Chains A and B, each alone.
Chain A
Amino acid sequence: MLQQEKSKKGSFIALICIAALLALVVLVENLGALVPNLPSVLRPTSQLFIVLKKGAVYSLVAVSMNLLNGFTGLFSLGQAGFMLLGAYTYAILTVPMANKDQVYYLFGGSAVKFSLQELFGGLFGNTGVGGAVSLVLGVLVALILAGLVAAFFAWLIGLPVLRLKSDYLAIATLGFAEILRAIFQWQKLGPVTNGANMIKSFPTFSSFNVQNADGEVVLRLSTFVPFLVAVVCIAVIVLLITSSYGRAFKAIREDEIAAEAMGINLAKHKSLSFCISSFFAGVGGALFAMYATNAQAKAFTSTMTYEILLIVVIGGIGSISGSCIATFLYVACSEWWLRFLDTPVILDSGFQIPLLRDGFRMVVFSIIIMIVVLFFRKGIMGEKELPDLFRKRKKKAAPAAAAGEEGSSNG
């Protein structure tokens, strides 16, 4: 009883924190309109917002990978492949009719003769509030379809591949991602995938900025949108992990034989975890296409998978909040904080500071990662979640009180 009340209170606090975070994102993004003479960091053109957008996208993908690698113990390296599926599904379904000929000019137009938001536009109208509704609905449906396509392929691939264990599974999924990347660049598929060229002109994050009649932006939502989608998806994953399915996943990770002896259907649960993880990787891939404002197979290399794996390892395998924190640190370091290392600096005296040149950033970055891995063997968070940190401290401070509580609940 006591514990249930506690967890209810905990989830209520978590809900408030998340709402506050989302509100903060909207506020920070729109500070420029409210406060004149803002420091350049907070201006809409700042690197900060690029980091926030990419961080939101990557944290969703990292959490989806953690669900599979950290909670179910299936070491898969196919994440970039599923992101690619999601990105292309989203892009193909949302390029507006007016832009199709221009995007697919090499192939004489697209084979897909509609775009989702314009289909909804037929119902709600294409301008004003109706236009906004059809944009939101179109993008939403496209995101869900992106996830479903990725999940479907995961199910298909899972049939043979999930019989493999550890390293072999990793190799098989990595190979699958590479094959996908090659197929999507195949010229024969041009009318659908635009061959080796990128698909662009579809709705991106900045399409969600609210404009007035003069085309001026009155309310910026371009950072809020990826945050909202990522938060909702991660919340679903957290609910899944705390459900009895999540327990079954963890049981499989800990000991397959014991899990099977408890009646847990290994094949079914592994496939389920693989599909769900891929679903969210697919959604993440679609968001990545929105972030990058284009979808091209070249972007989804195995390097991307390794990046995400690195984030999961640094954050702590088996910790959702660890993955999120690590994502933002990683993205901020690679995109923003270490940028200055790449630009050569020549002092007034004509002295050029050594080592500062293109590529040095990655050297420093690698060293930082090595240090992190050496000193945080289990990642920043280990297997703990953010709220655990507060709970632990309370217990240490008042062990006597805790013991008393235990005693009274026994009686």
Chain B
Amino acid sequence: MLKITDLKVNYGGIEAVKGISLEVPEGEVVTLIGANGAGKSTTLRTIAGLVKPAGGRVEFMGEDITGKDPTSIVKKGITLVPEGRKIFPDLTVLENLKIGAYMRKDDLTDDLNWVYDLFPRLKERHWQAGGTLSGGEQQMLAVGRALMSRPKLIMMDEPSLGLAPLIVRGIFDIIREIHKQGVTILLIEQNANMALQAADMGYVMETGRITLSGPGQELLTNEAVKAAYLGA
């Protein structure tokens, strides 16, 4: 579904991504793990069109989308859940969700109900300002907002960031649930254990390069990954 070939990105004068290739097959959860500054977020931001690549190729459903603007990329069905949630704090939960569907002009009722079914908490609080939600609820809102654009591929940038372990488990349950409903997911995580358990396919990224890849379960038992990311 999404195919990246030899992608290079310069970010503030630094070569943040030094030619990576990866593939996200339709209907799968693919995760990209790695330490801080490995270039994971930059990769996602480049796919979303927020950063222009210096070289390489991004293909989505057989179409070249390299360097396209974010508006047309969202229209094609790729949505990013940004790092640190980035919900709109002064807008209500409902308004936040509606902005997620900004590129669509059709009826939103079904999708609103879908998101409310996934996150009943958001329905309870639909009139509340986004900024008054707890961290976990804000993450739910960020995911719900992205789902409102009815994406084919949803990219999540560290959804577990700054959340309590119990909440993190809840977030991963939701990721599995969304996946079950047919949305393809590209997930970035520092919480390698949780991410690899949920993923069909995993890539390990180090200083701008992909150093290791394989099925999620396989990477979980890989000695090098264990030593570097799983703390075992």
Give me the interface of A with B, judged by CB distance under 8 Å. Answer: 244, 247-248, 250-251, 254-255, 257-265, 318, 383, 410
CB distance from A217 to the nearest CB of B (A): 49
CB contact under 8 A between A258 and B88, given known A263-B70, A410-B123: yes
CB-based contact A248/B99 at 8 Å? yes
Is B192 in the interface zone, CB < 8 Å from A?
Answer: no
CA A257 to CA B99, docked complex, whole Å = 13
CB-based contact A261/B95 at 8 Å? no
CA A254 to CA B91, docked complex, whole Å = 8
CA A351 to CA B66, docked complex, whole Å = 83
CB contact under 8 A between A262 and B50, given known A250-B88, A257-B86, A383-B90: no
Query: How many residues of chain B have a CB within 8 Å of chain A?
Result: 26
Note all chain A residues with C-beta closer than 8 A to B98.
244, 247
User: Which residues B41-78 have CB closer than 8 A to chain A?
Assistant: 48, 50, 69-71, 73-75
CB-based contact A261/B80 at 8 Å? yes
Is B160 in the interface zone, CB < 8 Å from A?
Answer: no
CB-based contact A262/B48 at 8 Å? no
CB-based contact B90/A262 at 8 Å? no
Note all chain B residues with C-beta closer than 8 A to A263.
70-71, 73-75, 79, 102-103, 149
Q: How many pairs of A and B residues are in contact by the CB < 8 Å rule?
A: 69
CB distance from A166 to the nearest CB of B (A): 17
CB-based contact A254/B88 at 8 Å? yes
CB contact under 8 A between A257 and B90, given known A247-B95, A263-B75, A264-B71: no
Note all chain A residues with C-beta closer than 8 A to B149.
262-263
Ordered by A's residue number, 24 sampled pairs between the chains whose C-beta atoms are within 8 Å are A244-B98, A247-B99, A248-B99, A248-B102, A250-B91, A254-B89, A254-B90, A254-B91, A255-B86, A255-B87, A260-B50, A260-B70, A261-B48, A262-B74, A262-B145, A263-B70, A263-B73, A263-B74, A263-B75, A263-B102, A263-B149, A264-B99, A265-B69, A383-B90
CB-based contact B102/A247 at 8 Å? yes
CB-based contact B50/A257 at 8 Å? yes
CA A264 to CA B98, docked complex, whole Å = 12
Note all chain A residues with C-beta closer than 8 A to B70.
260-261, 263, 265
Note all chain B residues with C-beta closer than 8 A to A258.
82, 86-88
CA A251 to CA B90, docked complex, whole Å = 9
Is B100 in the interface zone, CB < 8 Å from A?
Answer: yes
Note all chain A residues with C-beta closer than 8 A to B79.
261-263
B97-139 near A? 1/0 per residue, CB < 8 Å: 0111011000000000000000000010000000000000000
Note all chain B residues with C-beta closer than 8 A to A250.
88, 90-91, 95
In the complex formed, the residue of B with least CB distance to A256 is B86
CB-based contact B100/A262 at 8 Å? yes
In the complex formed, the residue of A with least CB distance to B99 is A251
Note all chain A residues with C-beta closer than 8 A to B86.
255, 257-258, 261
Chain B CB within 10 Å — which of A250, A257, A261, A383 has the most? A261
Note all chain A residues with C-beta closer than 8 A to B145.
262
In the complex formed, the residue of B with least CB distance to A406 is B124
CA A328 to CA B133, docked complex, whole Å = 37
CA A257 to CA B45, docked complex, whole Å = 10
CB distance from A277 to the nearest CB of B (A): 20
CA A250 to CA B95, docked complex, whole Å = 10
Note all chain B residues with C-beta closer than 8 A to A410.
123
CB distance from A316 to the nearest CB of B (A): 13
In the complex formed, the residue of A with least CB distance to B90 is A254
Chain A CB within 10 Å — which of B73, B75, B89, B90 has the most? B90
In the complex formed, the residue of B with least CB distance to A265 is B71
In the complex formed, the residue of B with least CB distance to A267 is B69
User: Which residues B210-225 have CB closer than 8 A to chain A?
Assistant: none
In the complex formed, the residue of B with least CB distance to A248 is B102
CA A244 to CA B149, docked complex, whole Å = 14
Note all chain A residues with C-beta closer than 8 A to B80.
261
CA A114 to CA B99, docked complex, whole Å = 48
CB distance from A187 to the nearest CB of B (A): 47
CB contact under 8 A between A257 and B82, given known A262-B149, A263-B71: yes
CB-based contact A264/B91 at 8 Å? no
In the complex formed, the residue of B with least CB distance to A1 is B109
New A-B pairs, 4, CB < 8 Å, besides A247-B95, A265-B69, A318-B90: A254-B88, A254-B90, A258-B87, A262-B100
CA A263 to CA B151, docked complex, whole Å = 12
Query: Which residue of the partner chain, among A244, A254, A255, A383, contacts B102 with CB atoms under 8 Å?
Result: A244
In the complex formed, the residue of A with least CB distance to B148 is A262
CB-based contact B50/A261 at 8 Å? yes
CA A333 to CA B123, docked complex, whole Å = 46
CB distance from B115 to the nearest CB of A (A): 14
CB distance from A249 to the nearest CB of B (A): 10
CB-based contact B99/A259 at 8 Å? yes
CA A383 to CA B92, docked complex, whole Å = 13
CB-based contact A261/B82 at 8 Å? yes
CB distance from B230 to the nearest CB of A (A): 30
CB distance from B186 to the nearest CB of A (A): 14
CB distance from B138 to the nearest CB of A (A): 12
CB-based contact A264/B102 at 8 Å? yes
CA A225 to CA B75, docked complex, whole Å = 45
User: Which residues B130-182 have CB closer than 8 A to chain A?
Assistant: 145, 149
CA A259 to CA B99, docked complex, whole Å = 8
CA A182 to CA B131, docked complex, whole Å = 45
CB distance from A97 to the nearest CB of B (A): 49
CB contact under 8 A between A262 and B102, given known A250-B90, A250-B91: yes
CA A250 to CA B74, docked complex, whole Å = 19
Chain B CB within 10 Å — which of A248, A251, A254, A262 has the most? A262
Note all chain B residues with C-beta closer than 8 A to A254.
88-91
Note all chain A residues with C-beta closer than 8 A to B91.
247, 250-251, 254
Note all chain A residues with C-beta closer than 8 A to B73.
263
CA A254 to CA B145, docked complex, whole Å = 15
CB distance from B23 to the nearest CB of A (A): 23
